[in-house]
Amino acid sequence: MALPTYETIILERDGRLLTVRFNRPDVMNAVNRTMHEELAEVFQFAQRDPDSDVVLLTGSGRAFSAGGELDHIANNAANPHLFDEEVRLAKRIVYGILDMDKPLLGLINGHAVGLGATLALLCDVTFVDRKAKIGDPHVALGLVAGDGGAVIWPQLIGLSRAKEFLLAGELLSAEQAEKIGLINYALPSEELEAAALRYAHRLLNGAQQAIRSTKVLLNMELKRIASSVMEAGIALESVSVRSADHREGVAALKEKRAPEFRGDAPDVSAD
């Protein structure tokens, strides 16, 4: 099957290994509307691709993904109806990953933040640059962490730890993330790709149907949790994007200052 062409993502095959590479290196692979739309499609392609058995997810340049692009976030804050469609895309992205029975390996070559962290953590096995930081700072922008973070973090490190980091929007070092079980491996940059490829080829040489069926079995509980959490998460994040606190969070980030949150009720008519 021919590989599709995307504006923000590159697909490459090496034998039966399919690499999905974010390709906005000039902005640390930050996510804009186009990338949201392409992410909602690319994992569905990877699932039905008959010419691959293992998928590797990584980023171009010095970051995996810095999360939402600031100008894009600001535009959504000013036009909340645009965000409503975007969070629906987030649901398609999460389920596109969870529905894929092929192993998905994360080669996390740099910082993974916000949606970038969610994408990294939804991978089946993660190999992370030791210098990278990972975290979901939605609350730092006055937003609910509703696009998948509340699904995957508790499953990896437990509810108490997940609350600790998601409620504070704290970024962790890769070594700290490895220590608490959030990721599999924190490795020096020069060892990262080789380690991920070794594991990929171990899987490629294995019994494919057994591997895929085992992943399906392991994902059953995760999908059940996602089905109960994602709808509420999408709704709550859509409400929070209409809040004065979110507008203040965006302004503070642009002005490189600490935000002054007031906790005002969101204006759900602000469209």
Cross-strand partners of 262: none
Number of domains in the chain: 1
Band of pLDDT at residue 269, cut at 50, 70 and 90 = low
Q: How much is the average pLDDT of 158-166?
A: 97
CATH (domain of 270): 3.90.226.10
pLDDT for 96 beyond 70: yes
Look at residue 197 and tell me if it is in a domain: no
Does some domain include residue 196? no
As a whole-number percent, the residues of the chain with pLDDT over 90 amount to: 88
Give the Cα separation of 97 and 8 in Å (integer): 18
Residue 126 belongs to some domain of the structure: yes
- Measured from the Cβ of residue 106, the count of other Cβ atoms closer than 10 Å reads 24
- Mean pLDDT score, 125-130: 98
Query: Is a pLDDT exceeding 60 seen at residue 271?
Result: no
In a domain, 89, yes or no: yes
Average pLDDT over residues 44-50: 97
The boundaries of the domain holding residue 269 are 1-190+202-271
Indicate the average pLDDT of the chain.
Answer: 94
CB atoms within 10 A of CB 116: 27
Domain-located, residue 173: yes
Report the alpha-carbon distance of residue 239 to residue 201 in Å, rounded. Answer: 44
pLDDT exceeds 60 at position 270: no
Question: What pLDDT band is residue 126 in, cutting at 50, 70 and 90?
Answer: very high
Q: Is the pLDDT of residue 217 over 90?
A: yes
For the residues 141-146, what does the mean pLDDT come to? 94
Mean pLDDT value across residues 57-61: 98
State CA 175 to chain mean position distance: 19
Structure tokens at 246: 């979110």
Question: What sign does the dihedral 22-26-31-35 (CA atoms) show?
Answer: negative
DSSP conformation letters of the chain: -PPP--SSEEEEEETTEEEEEE--GGGTT-B-HHHHHHHHHHHHHHHH-TT-SEEEEEESTT-SB--B-HHHHHHHHH-HHHHHHHHHHHHHHHHHHHT--S-EEEEE-S-EETHHHHHHHTSSEEEEETT-EEE--GGGGT---TTTHHHHHHHHH-HHHHHHHHHHT-EEEHHHHHHHTSSSEEE-HHHHHHHHHHHHHHHHTS-HHHHHHHHHHHHHHHHHHHHHHHHHHHHHHHHHTTSHHHHHHHHHHHHTS------PPP-TT--
Q: Considering the domain boundaries, does residue 85 fall inside one? A: yes
Q: Is the pLDDT of residue 265 over 80?
A: no
pLDDT in tens, 185-207: 999 999 999 999 999 999 999 99
Say yes or no to pLDDT of 82 above 70.
yes
Query: Predicted confidence band at 159 (pLDDT cuts at 50, 70, 90)?
Result: very high
pLDDT at 1 over 90: no
